[in-house]
Amino acid sequence: MTLTLLSLARAAEGLTVSVAEFSLSVGAGETTDATFTILNDEPIAVWFRIESAEWDEDEDGVTVLHPDGSVARSCASWILAGPLEGVLDPFAEVQVRVSILVPTEARGTYWSGLRIARDPDGEAIPAQGIVVAGEFLVKLYITVPAGEIDADVVGLEVGGFQPLWATLRVYNGGSVRLTGVSGVLSVKNASGAELSAPLPIVDILPGHSIDIRVDTEWRITQPGSYLVRAVVDFGAEYLVAGQVVVRVP
């Protein structure tokens, strides 16, 4: 069973968290610490609970929660956090400390999260008016040098010529999370005239693919053959590309 969860800095009534994610570089066998703050910005007391969460992303980049132990590159077992539960008085805050101990054999990027939610087994105190609705996720990315950087364009779909759209699928075949992946989509006709547009910037987890959709304002009305090409820069010393020839009758 999987659950889709949006990662928001504020998703529980009365609670605000100071960060949405941590991205840390830590050496193999080393320990590092991080902190974040949970603020109750409502005039009522709020009960909170923090739990470990395993997640990854689908091909649309949507965060999906998974059962414990089911994500291959999870770092959940490396993490200690506290306090894990409590009651925040009106307009009070608590600092949560996160400690990460990286195994000596780890290389590349690993990830997990801390889910902040109401405690279903917690003891409600009606006189204090304790309420928590919803939950949110603090994501943790841990990158351990030196991992492998690799990517490939594994699909390119084109259609809708008035206007033209394209969907590019990029696969991260390395062990490092790719951040700030960018590129250019171009269309060239038989005479060499060319149009180009930037690709939306995305991040891709190791072992994952992501679909990059480009909606242009180009109206391809002239019959003939067109070369559609997408070139992707993923931070290596080389680029990757995909191309397809389409014909307009």
pLDDT given at position 174: 96
Domain(s) of CATH 2.60.40.10: residues in the chain: 3-144, 152-248
Structure tokens at 169: 């699928």
Separation of alpha carbons 136 and 118, rounded Å? 10
pLDDT given at position 161: 84
Written as one string, the DSSP assignment of the chain is --EE----SS-BTTEEES-SEEEEE--TT-EEEEEEEEEE-SSS-EEEEEEEEEEEE-TT--EEEE-TT--TTB-GGGEEEE--EEEEPTT-EEEEEEEEE--TT--EEEEEEEEEE--TTS---GGGT-----EEEEEEEEEESS-----EEEEEEEE--TT-EEEEEEE--SSS-EEEEEEEEEEEETT--EEEEEPPPEEE-TT-EEEEEEE------S-EEEEEEEEEE-SSSS-EEEEEEEEE-
Domain at 152-248, CATH class: mainly beta
Predicted TM-score (pTM) above 0.85? no
The answer to whether 36 touches 120, Cβ cutoff 8 Å, is no
Q: Which CATH number is associated with domain 3-144?
A: 2.60.40.10
Separation of alpha carbons 146 and 28, rounded Å? 9
pLDDT given at position 130: 33
Q: Which residue has better confidence, 192 or 155? A: 155
Structure tokens at 115: 């889910």
Please choose, from the candidates 117, 219, 84, 202, the residue with its C-alpha nearest in 3D space to the C-alpha of residue 161.
Answer: 219
Radius of gyration of the chain (CA): 23
pLDDT tens digits for range 171-222: 999 999 999 999 999 999 888 888 999 999 999 999 999 999 999 998 888 8
pLDDT tens digits for range 6-29: 333 343 456 788 888 999 999 999
